[in-house]
Chains A and B, each alone.
Chain A
Amino acid sequence: MATDAIAERLEELWETEPTLYGRLATVDHKIIGKRYLYTAMLFLIAGGIEALIMRLQLVGPNKTLLGPEAYNQFFTMHGTTMIYFYAFPILVGFGNYLVPLMIGARDMALPRLNAFGYWTFLFSGLFLYASLILRSAPHAGWYAYVPYTLQTYSPGLGMDFFALALIFLTVSTTAGGINFLVTIFQLRAPGMTISRMPLFMYSSLTTYFSVVFALPAFTAALVFLELDRKWGFHFYDIAHGGHPLLWQELFWFFAHPWVYIVFLPATGMISMLLPAFARHPIVGYPYIAVSTILTGLVGFGVWLHHMFAVGEPQMSMSFFSAASMTISIFTAVQVFAWIATLWKGKPVLTTSLLFALGFIATIVIGGLNGIVTAVIPVDWQITQTYWIVSHIHYVLIGANLFPVMAGFYFWGPKMIGRMLDERLGKLSFWLMFIGFNVGFFPMQLLGVFGMPRRIYTYPAGEGWTTLNLISTIGAFILGFGLLLSIINFFVSLRHGQVAGDNPWNADGLEWSIPSPPPSYAWVHLPTVVSRHPLWDDHDELYDPNDERVFDQDRLTLSTTWKDAEPVSLARMPEDTITPLAISLTLSVIFIGILLTNLWLALAGVVLSLAAAAAWIWPKHGPKAMLEPQSERVTA
């Protein structure tokens, strides 16, 4: 059979109907991945606007743009948005789009769960932002320490919005985490053994394992908080035998790995795109793989390092500060591998590579800062000053935003089919990089000069004025740089140069198909014999007898987890509206709890169960063996 005819059949099977219903019901990972990316970008913009308003308030002494309570709400919304609704979801978006394409699968392992993860992410974010519209936003910072967040000190709905939105989000994150793990373990192309996986898979696996094990601590802490606030439970109430410190233990058990969770997939992206621009295979593949896994493992042990300022017994303190240093070593391994790759190759300085280099430069600085915080006595002096604000942003912008931008310029052409403009891109990079340093380096000095964090204004005579002015200017340059890239995206969407299959001459499987990829991705599912599929002399798509077409239904190959030997076919579900329905009914539950209306919540539970039943009820007929495809051979 001719390839065109097969492609047509596949398209019929896999395409998303171009109707409204089709769009709401789609389970295509490419569409969902892009939605994740757009939504997370919107959250970045929202959080960025909040940040710029804060910087305007702090531009000089005694400004009155924001009052104290409003300022508290702003830094809380900013931190919460950035950490939970931007930094991780944007990586989920890249993962969603890229993981199946990098491993040669036609979709994620659990496509409906994937759609569900997106909708719950969206609704939990809207839930949080409803609080801003109702003018009762949370105000206790992104880590919401008790007892300040209990009903006595924080009346009103603000902290309820915070707790419920984040419980809602953990549902989405857990579902996504499980989905990625199953996908990577089961759907890799034949021959993509565990030691040939793209490095992005190592960072994804480590990340999602951490999600699976660390996130429940946060969920539990939030549920405790909500029960204390709404129904007079006493988990954190010292007067009734509760423990305020329990919040901190649980929170940091989750949040310390979380810092690596928003960082590791980003390093994985760098390990993928750097070799393409260095035009040299990545140096030290096994070392990067192992140190990625170890970063995740040790990340769990490090949570107490955040507790130094609170006071834990000496023994554990020295152990944990050693662990923090150890992580810095694993990160250093990766940095050396990247530098060596560039050294041995012939780098082409594209926008994407510039962002990658900006990232490497920043984590070297930020990492050194991290080592400083791991040294115990220093911690006591500076945790409550602007030094820590600077440190947070060096880590988060350096290790998350820059790699994300690098990924955006690298994979953007794959997603939209057109190249992004390089001149505008480079300008955007330099503005962002300079603005970032001008914005956040003065904060280090401010910290040393004793400016406390989280103050809404300051008096004139402290010597903080000039540095604050510089910092605000830097922040606006950074914001403007980002805006240029967004403009670049929209302009290139229409007018960019057509990208073709593999504009960068990169080595990953995702570059073996057209840009943007068709809904079924591959006509012939690829096979792999090395770590750099497109750079070796094996033809991934060679399939003269149409043995790897699988066009009887929505099918993709399922392989063994270690050696990636094909064992069976995975049948993918049809498009369905149930994931959206169940996300909506879950929202009803959370709204019911928010309003302390248990009947509404109960109605939500019943509706959710009904939606779940509709979801899991099998729609396929008997799952018999598929007919052999031998009749194809002759055509």
Chain B
Amino acid sequence: MSSTYTEMPLPLRRQPFPVNDKRGSLSIIFFIATEASLFAVLFASYWYMAKGAAVWPPDDPPKIHYALGMLAVLVSSSIVLHWGEGQIKKRKVGAGMAALGVTVILGIGFLILTVLEDSEHLSVLAVNHDAYSSLFYMITTLHAAHVTLGVCMLSYVFLLPSVEPRSVTPHRPYHNAALYWHFVDTVWIFIVLFLYVSPNVGRR
């Protein structure tokens, strides 16, 4: 409405601006938030059913050794990936990419273990045996799907550098995929605690 110009109080003279924004990271963070909420709902359903049941779980609890092995795989993958991101920030691209490759391999290892565990577990507990089995397989399978997505993201970053110049720091796609990967790992920690450890320890 008015055209009088007041002295620009804004530091807009910092030109040229880099073309490098954080939209991707912020989107991943909100995506993780909604996914975390999904898993929270599934865990809440698990406890809700446990509360109403005389014996929980109503069937034999799952064996714990696979789950712990898989936990070791995922946790070490997260550590490697975190180290790799540090290398990338120090512009040691080769080391960072090597760490990324190791993480992808560990992720695939996790998926192979999942298949082994499931084929063993399915022979004692069918998926649609009862409410407990429904929920158990729902949660673990959904998590495995997330691991698969995570592996896809990491592989994508692995293939990216041919187009992404290495001079850009911090390496955004790397960082974003790593965020998601750490989230997937964290969920597994909760799954091990709730679905594997607790029924074996505190069996009512």
Interface centre among A212, A219, A241, A616, by most chain B C-beta atoms within 10 angstroms, is A241
When A547-B13, A548-B12 are in contact, do A220 and B41 touch as well, CB less than 8 Å?
A: yes
Q: Establish whether residues A237 and B17, one from each chain, have CB atoms under 8 Å apart when the complex forms.
A: no
Per-position 1/0 for A374-389, Cβ under 8 A of B:
0000000000000000
The reply on B16 being an interface residue by CB < 8 A is: yes
Per-position 1/0 for A180-215, Cβ under 8 A of B:
011001100011000000000000000000001111
For chain B, what secondary structure do more than half of its interface residues adopt (helix, strand, loop), or is it mixed? loop
Q: Establish whether residues A529 and B4, one from each chain, have CB atoms under 8 Å apart when the complex forms.
A: no
Interface centre among A231, A621, A623, by most chain B C-beta atoms within 10 angstroms, is A623
Q: Establish whether residues B14 and A622, one from each chain, have CB atoms under 8 Å apart when the complex forms.
A: no
Q: Establish whether residues B19 and A623, one from each chain, have CB atoms under 8 Å apart when the complex forms.
A: yes
CA distance A537 to B128 in the complex (A): 68
Q: Establish whether residues B41 and A216, one from each chain, have CB atoms under 8 Å apart when the complex forms.
A: yes
Q: Establish whether residues B16 and A626, one from each chain, have CB atoms under 8 Å apart when the complex forms.
A: yes
Q: Establish whether residues A241 and B58, one from each chain, have CB atoms under 8 Å apart when the complex forms.
A: yes
Interface hit among A59-67, A92-100, A560-568, A585-593? A560-568
CA distance A290 to B53 in the complex (A): 42
Q: Establish whether residues A537 and B131, one from each chain, have CB atoms under 8 Å apart when the complex forms.
A: no
Q: Establish whether residues B33 and A186, one from each chain, have CB atoms under 8 Å apart when the complex forms.
A: no
Interface hit among A144-152, A242-250, A341-349? A242-250
The reply on B23 being an interface residue by CB < 8 A is: yes
Out of A179, A253, A558, which one reaches B22, CB within 8 Å?
Answer: A558
Q: Establish whether residues A566 and B14, one from each chain, have CB atoms under 8 Å apart when the complex forms.
A: yes
Q: Establish whether residues B6 and A538, one from each chain, have CB atoms under 8 Å apart when the complex forms.
A: yes
What distance in Å separates the Cβ of B42 from its nearest Cβ neighbour in chain A? 6
CA distance A110 to B168 in the complex (A): 21
CA distance A371 to B58 in the complex (A): 43
Out of A110, A234, A253, A622, which one reaches B134, CB within 8 Å?
Answer: A234
Q: Establish whether residues B134 and A235, one from each chain, have CB atoms under 8 Å apart when the complex forms.
A: yes
What distance in Å separates the Cβ of A455 from its nearest Cβ neighbour in chain B? 33
What distance in Å separates the Cβ of A185 from its nearest Cβ neighbour in chain B? 6
Q: Establish whether residues B164 and A623, one from each chain, have CB atoms under 8 Å apart when the complex forms.
A: yes
With an 8 Å Cβ cutoff, the count of chain A residues facing the other chain is: 73
What distance in Å separates the Cβ of A235 from its nearest Cβ neighbour in chain B? 5
Per-position 1/0 for A304-319, Cβ under 8 A of B:
0000000000000000
Chain B residues touching A, range: 35 or more
The reply on B187 being an interface residue by CB < 8 A is: no
Minimum CB distance partner of A532 in chain B = B1
Minimum CB distance partner of A234 in chain B = B131
The reply on B124 being an interface residue by CB < 8 A is: no
Per-position 1/0 for A548-579, Cβ under 8 A of B:
10000001011000000111111100000000
Q: Establish whether residues A250 and B134, one from each chain, have CB atoms under 8 Å apart when the complex forms.
A: no
Interface hit among B24-32, B61-69, B189-197? B24-32
The reply on B93 being an interface residue by CB < 8 A is: no
Q: Which residues of A contact B (CB under 8 A)?
A: 109-110, 113, 174, 177-179, 181-182, 185-186, 190-191, 212-217, 219-220, 223-224, 227-228, 231-235, 237, 240-243, 246, 249-250, 253, 502, 505, 527, 529, 534-539, 542, 547-548, 555, 557-558, 565-571, 616, 618, 621-629
Given A109-B23, A174-B34, A224-B45, 12 other A-B contacts at CB below 8 A?
Answer: A217-B37, A233-B138, A243-B49, A250-B41, A505-B1, A539-B4, A566-B17, A569-B17, A622-B163, A623-B165, A626-B16, A626-B19
